[in-house]
Structure 1
Amino acid sequence: MSDLADPRFLDERTAHWADVKPDDEALVYLGRTWTWAQWNDRVRRLAGALTERGVGRGDVVAFLDKNHPACLELTLAAASLGAANAIINFRLAADELDYVLNDSGAKLLIVGTDLKPAIDKIRDKLVNVEHVITVTPDGADGDEYEAMLASATPVGRSADVESDDVCIVMYSSGTTGRPKGVLLTQANLIAHTVNGQEGFEFDEGDKNMVSMPLFHVGGSSYAQLGIHNGVSSVVTRDVDGAALAGAILQGANRTFLVPAVLAKVLESGEDAVKLFGALKTYSYGASPMPLPLLRAALKAWPNTDFIQAYGLTELCGVISHLLPEAHRDPGREERLSSAGTLIPNAEVRVVNPDTLEDVPEGEQGELWFRSAQLMKGYHNKPEATAEAITEDGWFRTGDIGRVDDGGYIFVEDRLKDMIITGGENVYSIEVERVLAEHPAVAEVAVIGVPDEKWGESVKAVVALEGEATEAEIIAFAREQLAAYKCPKTVDIVDALPRNPTGKILKKDLRQPHWEKAGRKV
């Protein structure tokens, strides 16, 4: 939609739209609406408030709440100062919040009033946090965030800011069992916005529904599409049926959501299906889409363009996509199970993980990508960064796949033991670290198994040295981990399968579940 030159800085588009169409609607949230002029003023005031509190280039601030425009404002305002917004998963348990907030080094925290009690419990452990500011969902009296904006003096972008400055820190599970902070720069995010919008083609009057959690690239990176193109964004606080239906009734007709939402809509009856038919574009990803569900969706919404997005946090989000025409190509239905083709300005290699040599076309190997979207690195983890990114700029995904003769990418297995459930990343080692502390657990392996609603669900396979039930093990996990990371089921076995060197054979544990489902990932 936009014929403008690509921006260099993240706050350029809000300033542009505020200049050329100041009175047009920019953002809608829980009954509140802001024009482009109003919203740009809020960003500039927030930049002023951060400056007054000592935030400058290279610093980190943090946001902890459900979806809220303040999170987007904080990203834009911090970026204009050369600072970064560490967007924290609001579902984390107290121990996890303590870790990520301290690891990020955040100087200032904006927290939702509903989550403030969790911060109060660990406040004495947050040694870097100098300011804690609460925000309410509706901007009610007593909202510290709104009061801060009202009293602040607007400031422009700092003169020393560079496009390569980190603007977002997103925590993704890591091999150590603790989350890793993924450092995304302004240039990364802008490249993703420019490259990742193929297939959307916004029209005048379109509205973008931003419903994925903003602590996920599917939320924060996707939200940039509407801002970039100058269309109004309807931000929902939650991803439940009522919130999504309300956004559609307000005119939202483009969105990105996880496949599980489609399943829920199809289960909800004729009225819900008809309402969702108003969507021009339904982009989906972050977890596998079961083929029966996809076929049912294509039949239910014949006039909706479906776009599948495959990507990773380290690449700002989408790196390949299955475009609308490929979804409805009767001659190549097998490509419905693919991750589509590369987005513009990206490269892919399929590499033998042992020899690091490219494999022949059509054969399996580890998927490597190169793009301007690639993160700057992992926060405070140079060794992990060096393991993930080659000297010539290729990102090693840990995903096993192949590329067919048409350039379609098929993701078929994982070198890493990442489980993607309902769009959330769960790293098995993180869950295993907790379950291994149970006094009755002798050994444990955590795997992802097929789930028709969530794509995958978390399963623990344990051998015991005492007595414990499935329910007791799950309850133990829930005491220390966010609910979505906890196993939904537990298999109790005599011993875990191992290879001759003693490594647990997770592939053997996963195989019967995925064979029964008729897919590999």
Structure 2
Amino acid sequence: MRIWDERDTTIVDIVDEAARRFGGRTAFVEGETRLTFVEVRDLSIRLAKHFLALGIGKGDRVAVMLPNDRWHVLTHLALCRVGAVLTPLNLAYRQQELRYMLTHNQVRMVVLTPDWQGTDLLSVLLDVLPEVGCVEHVLVSRATDDKSAIVVDDLLKRDAVVSDADLAKHRPGADDAFAILFTSGTQSNPKATLHTYRTFVPGHIDQSVEYQFSSEDVFLSLGSFGHMFSIPMISTTLRCGMRHVLLPEYSPQAFLAAARREGVTVATGVPTQWLDILRAARDEGIPLKMRLVITGGSKIPPHMVHQLRDQFGCTVAAQWGMTEVCAGAYTRPGDPPEASWQTVGRVCPRAEVRVLDPAGDQELPVGEIGELAFRGPSLFVEYLGNPQATAAVMTQDGFFRTGDLVYLDEQGFIHFVGRTKDIINRGGLKIYALEIEDLLLEHPKIRQAAVVAMPDERLGERSCAFVALTESSAHEGGNVLTLNDVTDYLLAKGVAKYKLPERLEIRPELPTTASGKVQKAKLAAWVRASVG
């Protein structure tokens, strides 16, 4: 398959070319609102001129805290048009995260939804601005009673007094900064990861070719545009001429309704979301056919892949990525079905991976477990303002040490084992947490699982299992699942006794990041505190 060589492409180039090629076809759908490729270009230019009139131009840093709606899309594209540097922010963030992230990135403007799921986000932001000091403009997507912010929807209805020539002066090049994204921070404080257009765009173009995207496809993202898993799809679908269905607020029912109405053929989401969707489709008797489901971010259960293939008639692609590497590896539509749950795919085009020993000095042979190292054009530039952290993760020959434990097979598929920080040392015996978590997720009463180290005076560490139960099991109440139940189940699966969890904590929900990864650092901190 031909790999596109578009190493100098920027998102502005993509928008302009998409308007020329696809014109009056529908580019984005949000409920009853439809925007054509030409309208997306013209509205994003109009908004870009308003940004320029506010003094926001090339190199200025702008935070975006919006759901997956038309305002998010147009804001994203308008910022690219003026060469501003995007800082996506999770809608779940509150004062503590905003205070740190806005200050660290020296953000000059914030664009946000005024409220989200019962929280007044505008008030949350205004509360921290006196401490932040760098933010000069606050924009909200739609009108509110609070008149202290500029309304994006109003700006889109009128032209700004800025010439095309002035706007063109700010048009970015491939090596200009595109975005500063914060890492998920499941084990430590998030780091600000800098990407240029050159590190961000070409790799996702390659991905669209590998996934066989075409102008006949209709796309929907279940994940937030504030995360690396989903943010590339704004420009990728434009480039491919795909109709992109926007779902501002996720629920299984909302997805199924939108997917049936628009004929969605390709969708991305984390396993938890797909399991919920499968259950809802079965319970409500909703038929749906798709071509491709792209998933990742957490363990992919085999039964989920089988159910997606049987129920929706689709291929399931597993994807491994990080904020630092974009989509670093994935299965392709022609790969065997089992590859999507046994592996995280093969490395992306034009990149390479190695498996390193604990010291990071030696490359390990096929089949041996070690740390995954990645090198390629989609690799991030640096951790902004943290050169020590950048140096700590890079090898002398330019490989990024991911912190993921893997092994390679003869076909080049990457088998994920766990995180380097996710090994429990029980009296000198090593327990890979992921091995136990994978088995727990196969238990009929468990829908979320995480195994963390629990301090122990004699052995150093023992393992503690945190689980959230399936909806039907949770409704049963009482001691529906005990530690003995769990250990008996694992022993029946052939697990060695030293690997068995020695404590079980049942929670209604395990804490997760925006990408669906369990925040094990929070669970580990709770365990440490509980044992004194």
Answer whether TM exceeds 0.5 for this pair. yes
Which amino acid in structure 2 is aligned with residue 347 of structure 1? Answer: E
The answer to whether the aligner puts 1:83 opposite 2:84 as a matched pair is: yes
What does 1:140-179 correspond to in 2, within 5 Å?
144-149=151-156, 150-152=158-160, 153=162, 155=164, 156-158=167-169, 161-174=172-185, 177-179=188-190
- State the match for 1:111 in structure 2: 112
Residue-by-residue CA offset, 1:302-354 (whole Å, 9 max, x unaligned): x31211111111112x21112233243xxxx4773111112211101111121
Aligned residue for 1:197, secondary structure, equals helix
Residue-by-residue CA offset, 1:258-304 (whole Å, 9 max, x unaligned): 111221123225365753x3211111111111223323333333x31
CA distance in 2, matches of 1:320, 1:188: 15
The answer to whether the aligner puts 1:21 opposite 2:22 as a matched pair is: yes
- State the match for 2:131 in structure 1: 125
Distance 1:71 1:380, change over 3 A: farther
- State the match for 1:315 in structure 2: 325
User: Shift of the alpha carbon at 1:462?
Assistant: 7.5
User: Shift of the alpha carbon at 1:30?
Assistant: 3.1
Contact 1:462 1:493 survives alignment (8 Å): no
Residue-by-residue CA offset, 1:364-387 (whole Å, 9 max, x unaligned): 111111111111111111111111
- State the match for 1:12 in structure 2: 13
Select which of 218, 222, 232 maps to 2:233.
Answer: 222
Q: 5+ residue gaps in structure 1? A: 419-446, 464-469, 497-521
Contact 1:111 1:134 survives alignment (8 Å): yes
Contact 1:321 1:342 survives alignment (8 Å): yes
CA distance in 2, matches of 1:459, 1:3: 42
- State the match for 1:286 in structure 2: 297
Contact 1:86 1:168 survives alignment (8 Å): yes
Residue-by-residue CA offset, 1:220-244 (whole Å, 9 max, x unaligned): 0233321121112111112211321
Select which of 242, 248, 254 maps to 1:237.
Answer: 248
What does 1:77-476 correspond to in 2, within 5 Å?
77-114=78-115, 115-136=121-142, 144-149=151-156, 150-152=158-160, 153=162, 155=164, 156-158=167-169, 161-174=172-185, 177-248=188-259, 249-270=261-282, 274-275=286-287, 277-301=288-312, 303-316=313-326, 318-328=327-337, 333=338, 336-417=341-422, 452=441, 456-457=449-450, 461=454
Contact 1:307 1:322 survives alignment (8 Å): yes
Contact 1:170 1:313 survives alignment (8 Å): yes
Distance 1:121 1:185, change over 3 A: same
Distance 1:494 1:213, change over 3 A: closer
User: Shift of the alpha carbon at 1:487?
Assistant: 4.2
Aligned residue for 1:357, secondary structure, equals coil
User: Shift of the alpha carbon at 1:355?
Assistant: 4.8
CA distance in 1, matches of 2:104, 2:150: 27
- State the match for 1:58 in structure 2: 59
Aligned residue for 2:183, secondary structure, equals strand
Q: 5+ residue gaps in structure 2? A: 116-120, 424-432, 457-465, 467-504
User: Shift of the alpha carbon at 1:5?
Assistant: 6.7
CA distance in 2, matches of 1:24, 1:335: 34
Which amino acid in structure 2 is aligned with residue 19 of structure 1? Answer: R
Residue-by-residue CA offset, 1:123-150 (whole Å, 9 max, x unaligned): 2122110000111399xx9981021232
Q: Provide the aligned C-alpha RMSD in A.
A: 3.7
Which amino acid in structure 2 is aligned with residue 229 of structure 1? Answer: C
Which amino acid in structure 2 is aligned with residue 208 of structure 1? Answer: F
Residue-by-residue CA offset, 1:128-174 (whole Å, 9 max, x unaligned): 10000111399xx9981021232424744436732111212211145
Contact 2:61 2:109 survives alignment (8 Å): yes
Distance 1:260 1:85, change over 3 A: same
CA distance in 1, matches of 2:20, 2:339: 48
CA distance in 2, matches of 1:346, 1:100: 30
Aligned residue for 1:361, secondary structure, equals coil
Deviates further, 291-300 or 219-228: 291-300
Count of aligned pairs between the two proteins: 450
User: Shift of the alpha carbon at 1:199?
Assistant: 4.2
User: Shift of the alpha carbon at 1:4?
Assistant: 8.3
Contact 1:79 1:186 survives alignment (8 Å): no
CA distance in 2, matches of 1:184, 1:474: 39
CA distance in 2, matches of 1:230, 1:92: 33
Distance 1:183 1:44, change over 3 A: same
TM-score computed with the length of structure 2 as normaliser: 0.75
Distance 1:361 1:159, change over 3 A: same
Distance 1:251 1:133, change over 3 A: same
CA distance in 2, matches of 1:12, 1:151: 22
Contact 1:273 1:300 survives alignment (8 Å): no
Contact 1:258 1:287 survives alignment (8 Å): yes
Aligned residue for 2:111, secondary structure, equals strand
Distance 1:179 1:257, change over 3 A: same
- State the match for 2:470 in structure 1: none
Task: State percent identity of aligned pairs.
Answer: 23
Distance 1:269 1:305, change over 3 A: closer
CA distance in 1, matches of 2:345, 2:109: 40
Distance 1:411 1:305, change over 3 A: same
CA distance in 2, matches of 1:91, 1:118: 11
